[in-house]
Chains A and B, each alone.
Chain A
Amino acid sequence: MEPVSEFLHMGGYALFVWPAFAVAAVVLTVLLVWSIRDLRRERDLLESLPRRRSKAQPAEAEDDS
């Protein structure tokens, strides 16, 4: 068995090792993409809101938290 297919075979446990890594990849990527998309959407939303204050002062959001 050439080294590549032997590697993929995972000693007969290919059905468990690869899905494990695949699930990890999927879950973490989906979370990352979803978070980035969320962030972009919020940024656009915030830009679209007429920033009344920004006319009076520079766009520095005033915070008194």
Chain B
Amino acid sequence: MVNWHRLANPTSFLKWSRRVLPWASVTTVILLAAGLYLSLFVAPPDYQQGETVRIMFVHVPSAWMALFTYAVMAGASATGLIWKSPLSHLTAKAAAPIGASFTLLALVTGALWGQPMWGTWWVWDARLTSVLILFFLYLGYIALWEAIDDYTRAAKSTAILALVGVVNIPIIKFSVDWWNTLHQPASVLRMDGPSIHPSLLVPLLVMGGAFTGYFIVVLLIRLEREILARQAQVLRRAQLRS
């Protein structure tokens, strides 16, 4: 039903995104309300961590979204390079700040969640350390966009960086996990153990859905901004030369 080639053309994409935006916003708000209600009122406190387990409902979705956004950036960069569509590069550029915000959120909520257990604000736990490194990868990506003034060169250079980054993330994750087991007994805190009790899993998934909805809404807004900024740049250049 959606002719993807037509969507690759920025103008028709804008018409499509302006139709989708209201629906995405409404769904996000509903999911967020449901998620908050479930997380704060319905989910039982954990027998071991008590009420602090509720922080998981913010921390875990943020960590998921941090990784998911980088995957979106890498995918958009790959399509941008292969099919030379500027819209993909702009999507990656629009997604980066969102990913960085989710990563920052994951770090802060991780520290808040760990504090009662470990007694300190920051613990070199494998997961938190990997998220911290991911944060640097985001900052590097955004900094490279700002550093190169020529748009086409910036788009392709950042695309290569995103692909190099996405190849390195599992390697970094593997080495940090190994490093963590070497220096510290397995951390007692189950950050997001697979065998979560359904009463905790449901709010988690709903919050995850809300965060994903939020990601789509902000991405569409930022993407439209990038497209307009790009068009303004082209127009300004054109006036300059005529």
- List residues of A whose CB falls within 8 A of some B CB: 10-13, 16-17, 19-21, 23-24, 27-28, 31-32, 35-36, 38-39, 42-43, 45-46, 49-52, 60-61, 63, 65
Which B13-37 residues have C-beta < 8 A from chain A? 36
Closest to A16 in B: B112
Q: Which residues of the other chain, B, contact A43 by a CB distance below 8 angstroms?
A: 228
Cβ A24 vs Cβ B8 within 8 A: no
The DSSP consensus for interface residues of chain B is helix
Residues 56-106 (chain B) with a chain A CB within 8 angstroms: 58-59, 62, 85-87, 97-98, 101, 104-105
Q: Are A23 and B109 in contact (CB under 8 A)?
A: yes
Give 8 CB contacts A-B under 8 Å: A32-B221, A38-B222, A38-B225, A39-B222, A43-B228, A49-B232, A60-B11, A65-B87
Total interface residues on B, CB under 8 Å, equals 45
Which residues does chain A contribute within 8 Å of B191, judged by CB atoms? Answer: none
Residue contact B10 to A63, C-beta cutoff 8 Å:
yes
Residues in chain B within 8 A of chain A (CB atoms): 8-11, 36, 40, 45, 50-52, 54-55, 58-59, 62, 85-87, 97-98, 101, 104-105, 108-109, 112-113, 115-116, 214, 217-218, 221-222, 224-225, 228-229, 231-232, 235-236, 238-239, 242
- Residues of A contacting B228 in the complex (Cβ-Cβ under 8 angstroms): 39, 42-43, 45-46
